[in-house]
Chains A and B, each alone.
Chain A
Amino acid sequence: MSKPQNSTVKVRRFSKAFVWAHAVNAISFFALYITALPMYTEFFDWLYPVLGGPEGARLLHRIFAVTFVLPTFIWVIFDFKGFKLWLKELVTWKKRDLQFFTEFVKELFGFNFKHVRQTFFNAGEKINSIIQIFTAILIIGSGVPMWFSEYFPKAVVQWGYLLHNVGFGLAIAVIVGHIYLSVVHKNSRPGYSGVVTGEVPAWWAKEHYADWYDEEVKKGNFPKLDDPTHTKKKKKKKGA
């Protein structure tokens, strides 16, 4: 596949703090998922011996429960600016965000689509963030009374079981899509290395987050990509 020459140019998309916060979040989430899976469905009861019996699974679940709470703090403490931008983007919704979804469905299934100009986070990422915030609150908020049930009224613990279940169900359903897009789907795959290294190819950033990219160019942070090598790309865009 032919790539523009400047495809090797990388730009920084995520701070080190975000990269760490995201990694801690992802690892904790999956560790929590695996250690609770045999309780969610008996189909996975064979995991108990692997995890050191129900007691081992319970201990691991509590250790990762603590690490699951950390990412927000990591991000807030070490990159407050990035965290603030995230929150601001989450409450900013414009027409372009709705347009994004119609194009996204086409992109998801591999049909022809056009890029809708997006800011730092696209509408899909914003929806993902909002659902993850909501489910994290549900999961953590209900997990505390489940863990320390002796200190809470019975009704709180009982509703906690339900909310933990709902929060988890929603979170995992969204995460299946989130992981697919980052690891498997060809158009968004650079986002995966981006969240690991913090850097993404400049051409990809410009294509997917045009408004953000242009803003950074204006600030003098990112290189301009409007050179002849890029025009070649533009021509092809329609057929993509």
Chain B
Amino acid sequence: MATEYVKFVDVTKCDGCRACMVACKNWNDLPAEPQDFLGSAQSHAKTTADTWNVLQYIEHENSKGNLDYLFRHSACFHCTDAACEKVCPENAISYTDFGTVVIDHEKCVGCGYCVNNCPFEVISLKEYVDKNGDKYRKANKCTMCTDRLEEGLQPACVTTCHTGAMEFGDKAAMIKKAEERVKQIKDRYPNAMVYNPQGVGGTHTVYVLAEKPSVYGLPENPKVPTSAVIWKDYAQPIGKMMIGATTMAVVGAFITNTIISKKKNGKNEDGGDSHE
């Protein structure tokens, strides 16, 4: 296995320039999604099928009653234990050697199970139209530029970040850096923390947040939904076993019936069976 990499986002260094959004669109050939004014400098409410990262602008009243203007580069977290990968019925979502989570469009059937199970709500379905004018859907999200990683490059958003708010590197080193950064900023941001939620086995985008996750609209304790675990680890395998068991029972019944009626026919010339 290749080295596990992590994208480290220090939101306290971000100046909200949105170059990461542009670089992402540019590298991934994603069309612009013009939006009406949403009431703040934020361009889009959240990530979409064509906008894989969105810069959040949050006006927050801190504990001293002052205004903090918080920014956050939001994109797929690339969970170690990804709910989307778990629920995909077509095995279209998989982990790469880099620890990133990617969608294979050849296999994706556009069912949307991943969309409804992602604890961070970063996956979306996109509608396409084929040559015959028929519509079809595929799931889309940030790939962490896995195609760039394969070529020895870093994700486009990281490369373009001019404040050094984003770094890409060895997992352990990045996490260490994040922890040290939290210590540095505790005076200014008493609630600062490393966001690397263990409910999903840790993530491959690790944040230093200035405030509690909920301030950024993030779940405090994200995890693979319990329903998804029961569904995929228990219900489905047991269901398949049950189908097998009843099928075996009727096959067994068919065989014993054939044997027994043959025996009876041998003994009894007239068939000897009252049942038809």
Contact = CB atoms under 8 A, between A and B. Distances in A.
B140 to A, nearest CB: 16
Contacts of B274: 207, 233, 236-237, 239-240
B38 interface: no
B239 A169 contact: yes
Q: Interface residues of A: mostly helix, strand, loop or mixed?
A: helix
A149 B118 CA distance: 14
Interface stretch (A14-22, A87-95, A176-184): A176-184
A169 B235 contact: yes
A54, A162, A185, A187: residue with the most chain B Cβ atoms closer than 10 Å: A162
Given A41-B240, A158-B117, A161-B87, 19 more contacts: A7-B276, A40-B89, A40-B236, A54-B110, A55-B137, A58-B111, A109-B252, A109-B256, A110-B256, A149-B116, A154-B116, A158-B116, A162-B228, A166-B239, A173-B243, A176-B247, A177-B250, A236-B272, A240-B275
Given A159-B227, A169-B236, A180 B134 contact: no
Contacts of A240: 273-275
B40 to A, nearest CB: 24
A173 B246 CA distance: 6
A124 interface: no
Contacts of A154: 116
B184 interface: no
Contacts of A10: none
Of all A-B residue pairs in the complex, the 7 with the closest CB atoms, nearest first, are A169-B239, A54-B109, A110-B257, A180-B250, A162-B231, A110-B260, A173-B242
A187 to B, nearest CB: 4
A66 interface: no
B250 to A, nearest CB: 4
Given A55-B136, A186-B257, A174 B246 contact: yes
B91 interface: yes
Contacts of B231: 161-162, 165
Contacts of B112: 149
B201 interface: no
B128 to A, nearest CB: 11
A204 interface: yes
Interface of A: 1-3, 7, 39-42, 45, 48, 53-55, 58, 108-111, 149, 154-155, 157-159, 161-162, 165-166, 168-170, 172-174, 176-177, 180, 184-187, 189-190, 201, 204, 207, 233, 236-237, 239-240
B253 interface: yes
B253 A173 contact: no
A1 B276 contact: yes
Contacts of B136: 53-55
B275 A39 contact: no
Interface of B: 87, 89-91, 109-113, 116-117, 134-137, 225, 227-228, 230-231, 235-236, 238-240, 242-243, 245-247, 249-250, 252-254, 256-261, 270-276
A44 B111 CA distance: 16
A161 B113 contact: yes
A144 to B, nearest CB: 14
A108 B250 CA distance: 8
Contacts of B230: 162
A108 B253 contact: yes
Given A166-B239, A180-B250, A189 B227 contact: no
Nearest to A152: B116
Given A149-B116, A158-B227, A169 B242 contact: yes
A172 B253 contact: no
A150 to B, nearest CB: 10
Contacts of B253: 108-110, 180, 185
Contact of B109 (A1, A39, A236, A239): A39
A172 B272 CA distance: 35
B236 A165 contact: yes
A196 B156 CA distance: 65
B235 A190 contact: no
Nearest to B270: A2
